[in-house]
């Protein structure tokens, strides 16, 4: 018996070509892991802007915002509430599809997309009426840099949400197959959390 097993293993080795199969962890799906690594890299990008903010305001002692400028804290707070709400709606969509509730998935995704689009519209409208530009002073550069970087991430997130929403109406997701909307959901939660940090840093502190 042992000789036969050894012979079978030898025949397998003889016919096997190339490197052995990669060792894959069953705990984290490759798509999820890829998204998490991407988010880590994006946190580093935001970190570079926060470092510049720190040096201008703390080390350099610059007034924030610059003298004569005003940041619309109330409007930004309302916009923050809108974006935080979108985290709840996408969570509702995720929980719905886990229970094969496709209507709940569709409603949650549409609501999330509309809330995200509303946030971006208000942010752009704020740029139009805020009264200063990036080239006016260092504070303006950092303000537009941080909020604009986040706005770019919201735009990417809206593209992903639109794709997921279309697929949800086409019946592409089920309780056993919904990774395609779970991964964009992770990204959207990251966008929401990052905005809370930007809002508290830029508008409140």
Provide the 3-class DSSP secondary structure of residue 123: helix
In a domain, 191, yes or no: yes
With respect to residue 23, please indicate whether it lies within any of the assigned structural domains. no
pLDDT attached to residue 11: 45
Q: Is residue 151 predicted with pLDDT exceeding 80?
A: yes
CA distance 21 to 34: 19
Instruction: State the average pLDDT for the chain.
Output: 90
- Give CA–CA dist 71/131, Å, rounded: 9
pTM of the predicted model as reported, rounded to 2 decimal places: 0.85
51-60 confidence digits (pLDDT tens):
999 999 989 8
Domain that holds residue 87: 30-204
Q: Return the CATH number at 129.
A: 1.20.120.80
Phi and psi at residue 174, in whole multiples of 5°? -150, 180
Q: What is the mean pLDDT of residues 35-43?
A: 95
| Number of domains the chain contains | 1
**97 occurs within a structural domain:** yes
Arithmetic mean of pLDDT, 101-117:
98
- Residue 43 in 3-state DSSP? helix
Would residue 15 count as lying in a domain? no
172 located within any domain? yes
Interatomic CA distance for residues 9 and 58, integer angstroms: 67
Q: Is 5 domain-assigned?
A: no
Instruction: Indicate whether 142 belongs to any domain.
Output: yes
Domain membership of residue 74 (yes or no) is yes
Q: What is the mean pLDDT of residues 64-73?
A: 93
Tens of pLDDT, residues 163-189: 999 999 999 999 989 999 999 999 999
């Amino acid at each position: 018996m042992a000789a036969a097993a050894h012979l079978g293993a030898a025949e397998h080795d003889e016919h096997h070509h190339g490197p052995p199969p990669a060792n894959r962890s069953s705990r984290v799906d490759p798509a999820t892991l890829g998204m998490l690594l991407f988010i880590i890299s994006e946190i580093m990008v935001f970190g570079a802007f926060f470092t510049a903010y720190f040096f201008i305001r703390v080390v350099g002692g610059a007034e924030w915002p610059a003298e004569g400028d005003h940041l619309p804290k109330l409007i930004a707070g309302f916009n923050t509430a809108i974006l935080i709400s979108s985290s709840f709606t996408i969570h509702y969509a995720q929980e719905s599809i886990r229970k094969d509730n496709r209507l709940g998935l569709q409603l949650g995704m549409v609501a999330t997309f509309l809330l995200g689009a509303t946030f971006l519209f208000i942010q752009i409208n704020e740029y139009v009426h805020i009264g200063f530009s990036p080239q006016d002073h260092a504070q303006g550069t950092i303000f537009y840099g941080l909020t604009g970087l986040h706005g770019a991430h919201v735009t990417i997130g809206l593209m992903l949400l639109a794709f997921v929403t279309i697929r949800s109406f086409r019946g592409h997701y089920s309780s056993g197959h919904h990774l395609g909307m779970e991964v964009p959901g992770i990204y959207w939660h990251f966008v929401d959390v990052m905005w809370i940090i930007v809002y508290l840093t830029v508008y409140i502190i």
